[in-house]
A and B are shown apart, each in its own frame.
Chain A
Amino acid sequence: MFSKPRKSRRLRAMVSAGVAITLALSACSAAPAATETTATGPTTVNFWSWNPDEGTSKPYIAAFEASHPNIKVQMRFIQYSDYVNTTQLALQSGSGPDVFGLQVGALTNQFAPLAEDLTPAISKQLGTDWKTKLTATDQLAVDGKQVALPWMITGGGLIWANQTLIDSLKLTVPTNSEELKSFCAAVKQAKKYCIVQGAKDAWQNIDVYQSIMNQVSPGTFYKALAGQADFSSAEFVKAFEIWKSLFSDGIFQEGALGATAYPDANDAFHKGEAALMINGTWQNADTTNTRLAQYVTSYGDSFDKNTVFMPYFFPQVVTGGATGTLFGGPDVGFAVSSSSKVKEAAETFVTWLTASEEGQKIMAKTDQQPALSSVPLDLSDVKTPAQVKALEAQGPALKGMIGARQIQNADVQTALGDALSAVASGQQSAADAAVSVQKAIAAAK
């Protein structure tokens, strides 16, 4: 009578213990190997990044694998909001990628200990004068170590126009603050946004502030970040005041502080709800027929695939201010994990992506500036001659960029983002905001 239940109890208890032991063993055992090399099969390189995404990465990976049959690339796209944390934990636990994307600035600085020095690999690929052949490599170097290699070069300091909408309203894209005010009044009368700004996102606000500062006092912004100028000085306060006026004068849409750059502002702009959006060269593909066809899929049949999106330099918002300058550098760079078991294959992939004609020509087709300076933009898919001219005009500005777009220190970046939001919403005066950023710069030293 009792033996069966007792056996059953014992069995259940043993199953419980088994589960516990399995849990313990799985917790203690080493994480699955990040890479696999078999005697006969190809070497697998695990590649994580937020840029490119899975779709964009396909032509690169296909071309690389075709020319390197012994290496297979396993791509994992991670949204940037999750990317930093996921990659950081994975790299530390030894289960991370062999190749990973890095953004210039704080991310590169923080991840530097987890990455290989790519100097020998890039020297082998391009020769000892590789720094003259690849653009802005210094922005991805930390204490002499080449943490990552640049893939594409982007610049901020542009304003994008929905030319089709502006032409339909019989208006002209403004080039200075006076024109901007009258332009915005006319656009608003047509029940459209003038400049749509995703001011919830600090990065977009910092881009605008840099554009303003580069007119108020060219180059001083970067000097102040390096501790060679005072961020609380009159020039910076003036730039904060001009920034504030973009909200109070109705240049930006009402409620901009609650809108994100992506998707809110970006969607509004592409759907023809706004005439202008402040963005950078990373939107260059908007001039291509391929991208316009993709927008039909994203936004539906109501999207006109003949829409002309045109890049202009940021308008002159400071009397006598210099226009036509861009700031920026590598939009993303690729690093090799120092714990990778297939470093050679990983380095081959990174140098192919960043420094080979084959890899960079794929980039050039998307109208993004390749990091390898010998590869020109491929403008064959650009919709109109006027757009081709506008993209060509970016070339000299990209070669002579006034400074880096990304701020090296995360605390300073946060302080400036907070200050801009607080000034725009009337919580802080321009002078107090400038002082708060200067304090963060001093504390970061």
Chain B
Amino acid sequence: MTQPSTVGQRTAIARREGSRRRSQLTAYLYLLPALMIIIGITYFSVFYNAWVSTLDWNGIDPNPDQVGGANYLKIARDPIFWTSVSHVAVFGVVTVIVQMVAGLGLALVLGGPIVGRGVYKALVFIPVVLAPAAISTAFRQFLRPDGQVNDVLQGIGLASMQQAWIADPKFALYALAAVNIFQWTGFSFMLYQAALSQIDQNHLEAAQLDGAGTWRTIRHIVIPQLRPTHLTLALTGVIGSLKTFDIVFLITGGGPGRSTEFLTTYIYKQSIMQFHVGYGAALSVVMLLLALILTLVQTRIYKLDRED
């Protein structure tokens, strides 16, 4: 009796084990396509790029020279790299702040009882879904000295403020920031609108009962409760600024001179136009590290904020 029972138990255990393994295998098989794409494309490319960054290579020569960290030392001494970083920083600060403020303002205004609210919301959001190439082409026309921006300034009596917006190095970077703000404010608006709908109405009513006016309610109740949204927008905005390429390349090409050079346009020029693929790869690695550092800093701030 004992023996058959033990055998039966062993068989049952073996069956369960087999079933568990099959189930695990099934799970891994489900993951396999995605894993292959992520590892095979994203991570392989990142590591391959890191390896290329240690080469002095034009992208064509079958026998590139191994130069170790020389490309990174060159970056540290490259004034155009530092100029590009400063442009990205200015662009990032201006665009992130303005987009957040404008997005929040619009969300607050359009959250109220306004006639044609749906139309306004659509108008604010449409630029988000437009192709950057289309926006860039349109703004190259708008920002010409005889373009629509200057026409509007003249029409409202501000002719003295007319400029050659993208041809003047004093204004070109800010003109690009304005284009970015036009395109991405709708995104901030949507996130703030969603977050505003989650605010506990009791808090707002309590504040009003305590005699708080609209501005004080916004400042002391609404804005603090939107912290996660502020941080999300700051994070995506900063990373987005680092990655900005299309509007810069299409509107100013990094010029006049290098007055609107960004890291991305500099990488493109080094790698494609000047055939310094190794150096371009090193610049890409530095950009990736900058993005990681900024992400870590912001997520740390977010965590500290939540702990508080």
Q: Is B155 an interface residue (CB 8 A)?
A: no
Q: Which of B33, B60, B169 contacts A427 (CB 8 A)?
A: B169
**Chain A: interface residue count, which band?**
35 or more
Given A19-B33, A418-B257, A422-B257, verify A13-B26 contact (CB < 8 Å): yes
CA distance A410 to B251 in the complex (A): 23
Q: Is B65 an interface residue (CB 8 A)?
A: no
CA distance A383 to B40 in the complex (A): 59
Of the 9-residue stretches B110-118, B230-238, B269-277, which lies at the interface with chain A? B269-277
Q: Is A23 an interface residue (CB 8 A)?
A: yes
Cβ–Cβ < 8 Å partners of B59 in chain A: 88, 110
Given A16-B30, A425-B257, verify A254-B62 contact (CB < 8 Å): no
Q: Which of A84, A258, A414 contacts B143 (CB 8 A)?
A: A258
CA distance A19 to B34 in the complex (A): 10
Q: Is A14 an interface residue (CB 8 A)?
A: yes
**What count of chain B residues pass the 8 Å CB interface test?**
39
Inter-chain contact A12/B169, CB cutoff 8 Å: no
Q: Is A9 an interface residue (CB 8 A)?
A: yes
Q: Which of A85, A410, A425 contacts B168 (CB 8 A)?
A: A425
Given A411-B274, A427-B257, A427-B259, verify A255-B36 contact (CB < 8 Å): no
Q: In the complex, what residue of chain A is closest to B258 when comparing beta carbons? A: A418
B14 to chain A, nearest CB (A): 18
- The DSSP consensus for interface residues of chain B is loop
Q: In the complex, what residue of chain B is closest to A15 when comparing beta carbons? A: B29
CA distance A12 to B32 in the complex (A): 12
Interface-centre pick from A14, A23, A258 (highest chain B CB count, 10 A): A258
Question: Which residues of chain B from 15 to 69 have any CB-CB distance to chain A below 8 Å in the complex?
Answer: 25-26, 29-30, 32-33, 36-37, 40, 58-62
Inter-chain contact B272/A84, CB cutoff 8 Å: yes
Q: Is B167 an interface residue (CB 8 A)?
A: yes
Question: Which residues of chain A from 108 to 160 have any CB-CB distance to chain B below 8 Å in the complex?
Answer: 110-111, 113-114
Given A258-B165, A414-B273, verify A13-B30 contact (CB < 8 Å): yes
Inter-chain contact B29/A258, CB cutoff 8 Å: no
Cβ–Cβ < 8 Å partners of B273 in chain A: 84, 410, 414
Q: In the complex, what residue of chain A is closest to B80 when comparing beta carbons? A: A418
Q: Is B140 an interface residue (CB 8 A)?
A: yes
CA distance A92 to B258 in the complex (A): 32
Q: Is B132 an interface residue (CB 8 A)?
A: no
Inter-chain contact A425/B36, CB cutoff 8 Å: no
Given A258-B166, A410-B274, A410-B275, verify A10-B26 contact (CB < 8 Å): yes
Q: Which of B32, B145, B275 contacts A17 (CB 8 A)?
A: B32
CA distance A220 to B300 in the complex (A): 59
A355 to chain B, nearest CB (A): 27
CA distance A27 to B41 in the complex (A): 10
Inter-chain contact A200/B60, CB cutoff 8 Å: no
Cβ contacts B109-152/A at 8 Å (1 or 0 each): 00000000000000000000000000000001001111000000
Cβ–Cβ < 8 Å partners of A422 in chain B: 256-258
- Name 28 A/B residue pairs within 8 A (Cβ), A-sorted: A13-B29, A20-B36, A23-B37, A84-B272, A84-B273, A92-B60, A110-B59, A110-B60, A111-B60, A113-B62, A253-B145, A255-B144, A255-B146, A255-B166, A257-B166, A257-B168, A257-B255, A258-B140, A258-B164, A258-B167, A258-B251, A258-B256, A410-B273, A414-B273, A414-B274, A421-B255, A424-B256, A427-B169
Knowing that A88-B60, A421-B257 are A-B contacts, what are 8 other residue pairs whose CB atoms are under 8 Å apart, sorted by A's residue number? A13-B29, A16-B30, A114-B60, A254-B146, A258-B144, A410-B274, A418-B258, A427-B257
Nearest 6 CB-CB pairs, A to B? Answer: A422-B257, A258-B167, A258-B166, A425-B256, A257-B167, A255-B164
